[in-house]
Amino acid sequence: MLVSLFICPICQSPLFPAADTWRCDGSLNPKNVSHPFDVARQGYVNLLPVNQKKSKSPGDSSNSILARQRFLANAHYQPLRDLVCAQINALLSAKHSTGQTDKSSVDWLDIGCGEGYYTGAIAQTKGINSLIAADISKPAVIEVAKASKAAKRLWLDIDKQDDNKEAIYPIVTSAAHLPLSANSLTGITSIFSPILPTAFADVLQEGGYLVIAKPDIGHLTSVREALFDEVREHNSDKFLTELAPLFEVLDTQRISTELTLPAADLADLLTMTPYAYRAQPEKRQALLAKAAAASFNTEAKFVVYVLKKRPL
Ligand SMILES: C[S@@+](CC[C@H](N)C(=O)[O-])C[C@H]1O[C@@H](n2cnc3c(N)ncnc32)[C@H](O)[C@@H]1O
Ligand SMILES: [Zn+2]
């Protein structure tokens, strides 16, 4: 059986990328038949079988993806992006300098990548060979594919002889059923995205890294105060308890940044967060009217955890 980074989401046999259609070799399929997955025009591959779709259009909607894309393009969250990349850089440089690995074997997954703002920057981290940009939302993955193509990092366009180019593979998948070989990845990022301890531990190598970004206590407080009568805090670190049997925490960094938001940016921020549908429409309108008169000030607060998979 040939080794492959990807596995078939239907029969778990090795799955091989190719320009037009990815095919599994069917070796684990009792009927010994291979499954084909067409490469979409934009260069992504849909590896989400219909029976894993819990709704017609799972994940973030096109509307929310495009709002996030506009908001992030205005660099409001750049300090977080820089911190995430610095953490990954530090992990990989330590690995490379101690000769634990070479670049060709470093494969990284950005799960719940959204429209790919962080993915594009992670791809520039020296020392990654393949970066899998995965999301359950098809409109999100289409945006990642377009951006990767524009940045000349789409897997289809990468010359494998060019050792300096990191290939991005945009795929539609559920975080719960990753179409990736067991123990294959050097690292995973989950930036405001689902965290599934067992599914992540399965695909990470021993000692593999998990980098998580979350909103911290006090994140966008003035926005939430304007929208809700009672402000609930983002202080749930329950996920750390769930991760603890499989992962140890190596580092925790907090970062905050002052935001001055014109009305259009504030409207995009509301559309890209769950506040959009939880807030009363009158409060939302009043907040946007305030921002139209003068930009709205708030503070974004994040926490970035670096974890390492424990030996089994
Ligand atoms: C808050 S967004 C974060 C997007 C991106 N990481 C960012 O920070 O800009 C969460 C993303 O997770 C995706 N998502 C939600 N549930 C998922 C699942 N079960 N598997 C994969 N992706 C999922 C959504 O479609 C959405 O794009
Ligand atoms: Zn198959």
For residue 312, pLDDT beyond 90: no
Judged by its nearest atom, the ligand closest to the C-alpha of residue 24 is: 2
Do 62 and 146 have their domain in common? yes
pLDDT one-digit tens code per residue, 116-155: 999 999 999 888 989 999 999 999 999 999 999 999 999 9
Tell me what pLDDT residue 98 has: 75
Cα 151 to the center of its chain, rounded Å: 18
Do 32 and 157 have their domain in common? no
Helix (H), strand (E) at residue 307: strand 296-309
Do 125 and 223 have their domain in common? yes
Closest ligand 1 atom to residue 176 Cα is 19
DSSP-derived secondary structure letter, 81: H
pLDDT one-digit tens code per residue, 71-123: 999 999 999 999 999 999 999 998 877 766 666 679 999 999 999 999 999 99
How many Å lie between the centroid of ligand 1 and the Cα of residue 193? 5
Do 111 and 32 have their domain in common? no
Read off the pLDDT of each residue in 247-264 and give the average, rounded to a whole number.
Answer: 96
Judged by its nearest atom, the ligand closest to the C-alpha of residue 195 is: 1
Tell me what pLDDT residue 204 has: 98
Tell me what pLDDT residue 232 has: 80
For residue 1, pLDDT beyond 60: no
pLDDT band at 50 (very low <50, low <70, confident <90, very high): confident
Q: Is 180 exposed, middle or buried (0-12, 13-18, 19+ CB in 10 A)?
A: buried
For residue 231, pLDDT beyond 90: no
Query: From atom 17 of ligand 1, which residue's Cα is the shortest distance away?
Result: 136
Do 12 and 152 have their domain in common? no
Do 32 and 123 have their domain in common? no
Q: Which of 63, 193, 198 to mutate to test the pocket of ligand 1 (most atoms within 8 A of CB)?
A: 193
Tell me what pLDDT residue 279 has: 84
* Two structure tokens written together for 267: 């409207």
pLDDT band at 280 (very low <50, low <70, confident <90, very high): confident
Do 203 and 233 have their domain in common? yes
* Among the listed residues 3, 32, 29, the one whose alpha carbon sits nearest the alpha carbon of residue 16: 3
The percentage of residues in the chain with a pLDDT greater than 90, rounded to a whole number, is 79
| Count of the separate structural domains present in the chain | 2
How far apart are alpha carbons 138 and 145 in whole angstroms? Answer: 10
Do 142 and 71 have their domain in common? yes
CB proximity list for 46: less than 8 A, separation 6 or greater: 37, 38, 40, 138, 171, 172
Amino acid present at 97: S
Do 94 and 108 have their domain in common? yes
Helix (H), strand (E) at residue 210: strand 204-215
Report whether 165 contacts 85 (CB < 8 A). no
Identify the domain containing residue 27 by its residue range. Answer: 1-38
How many Å lie between the centroid of ligand 2 and the Cα of residue 268? 40
Q: Which of 62, 77, 78, 136 to mutate to test the pocket of ligand 1 (most atoms within 8 A of CB)?
A: 136
Closest ligand 1 atom to residue 119 Cα is 6
Judged by its nearest atom, the ligand closest to the C-alpha of residue 144 is: 1
How many Å lie between the centroid of ligand 2 and the Cα of residue 102? 30
- Provide residues with CB under 6 Å of ligand 1: 59-60, 68, 111-114, 117-118, 135-137, 140, 174-176, 191-194
Do 57 and 177 have their domain in common? yes
Query: From atom 11 of ligand 1, which residue's Cα is the shortest distance away?
Result: 112
pLDDT band at 183 (very low <50, low <70, confident <90, very high): very high
How far apart are alpha carbons 155 and 166 in whole angstroms? Answer: 8
Closest ligand 1 atom to residue 72 Cα is 9
Q: What is the CATH number of the domain that holds 151?
A: 3.40.50.150
Do 155 and 20 have their domain in common? no
Do 28 and 57 have their domain in common? no
How far apart are alpha carbons 172 and 265 in whole angstroms? Answer: 28
Q: At what angle do helices 263-272 and 281-293 cross, to 10 degrees?
A: 150
